[in-house]
């Protein structure tokens, strides 16, 4: 069993994650991220972590869903549209897409197993004090 669940290892995961590359939505192209790469990702604006997620395919989730997809496939777009207090000018999916392109970037860490992805998603959500958490279902 992989013992990544110690305090020290949690700190290392957070440090490694935050020291990784930043991928700005303004320059995001599908070919930048390897196809079918599983992992955990966070979407940031200039001041905070907006969203943390996990996926079996980072390329598809980040580019096809979050950037190009409708709010049903990209929860962050839905949250931005619904957040009238902090984002009163984001009224449509197009406004949310423009906001992502103009203000946001992604960081990610490849993680190969679903259990580790879930645990690291929770760790990063807590450590980064993520703004939007999706509803449980």
According to the model, what pLDDT value does residue 64 have?
85
The arithmetic mean of pLDDT across residues 107-135, rounded, is 92
> What is the chain's mean pLDDT, rounded?
90
Share of the chain above pLDDT 70, in %: 93
Cα angle vertex 57, ends 125, 103, to 5°?
55
According to the model, what pLDDT value does residue 98 have?
97
The region of weakest confidence among 20-24, 55-59, 62-66, 120-124 is: 62-66
The arithmetic mean of pLDDT across residues 33-52, rounded, is 95
Share of the chain above pLDDT 90, in %: 72
Domains of the chain are: 22-127 (3.40.1440)
The predicted model scores a pTM of 0.91
Burial label, 19 (beta-carbon count in 10 A; 0-12, 13-18, 19+)? exposed
The arithmetic mean of pLDDT across residues 7-26, rounded, is 92
- Under the banding of pLDDT at 50, 70 and 90, the label for residue 102 is very high
Beta pairing class for 23-24 and 49-55:
unpaired
Cα–Cα distance measured from residue 24 to residue 28, given in angstroms and rounded to the nearest whole number:
6
Integer angstrom CA distances of residue 19 from 16, 95, 100, 109, 135: 5, 30, 21, 10, 29
Cα–Cα distance measured from residue 117 to residue 38, given in angstroms and rounded to the nearest whole number:
8
How many C-beta atoms surround the C-beta of residue 63 within 10 A? 20
- Under the banding of pLDDT at 50, 70 and 90, the label for residue 135 is low
Instruction: Map tokens 């902090």 to a residue.
Output: 86
């Amino acid at each position: 069993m992989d013992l990544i669940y110690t305090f020290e290892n949690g700190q290392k995961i957070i440090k490694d994650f935050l020291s990784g590359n930043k991928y700005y939505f303004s320059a995001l192209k599908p070919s930048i991220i390897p196809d079918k790469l599983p992992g955990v990702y966070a979407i940031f604006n200039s001041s905070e972590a907006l969203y943390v997620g996990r996926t079996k395919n980072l390329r598809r989730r980040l580019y096809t869903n979050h950037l190009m997809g409708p709010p049903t496939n990209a929860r962050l777009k839905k949250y931005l549209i619904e957040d009238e207090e902090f984002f009163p000018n984001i009224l449509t999916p197009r406004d949310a897409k423009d906001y992502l392109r103009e203000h946001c970037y992604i960081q990610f860490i490849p993680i190969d197993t679903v259990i580790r992805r879930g645990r690291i998603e929770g760790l990063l959500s807590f450590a980064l004090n993520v703004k939007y958490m999706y509803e449980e279902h």
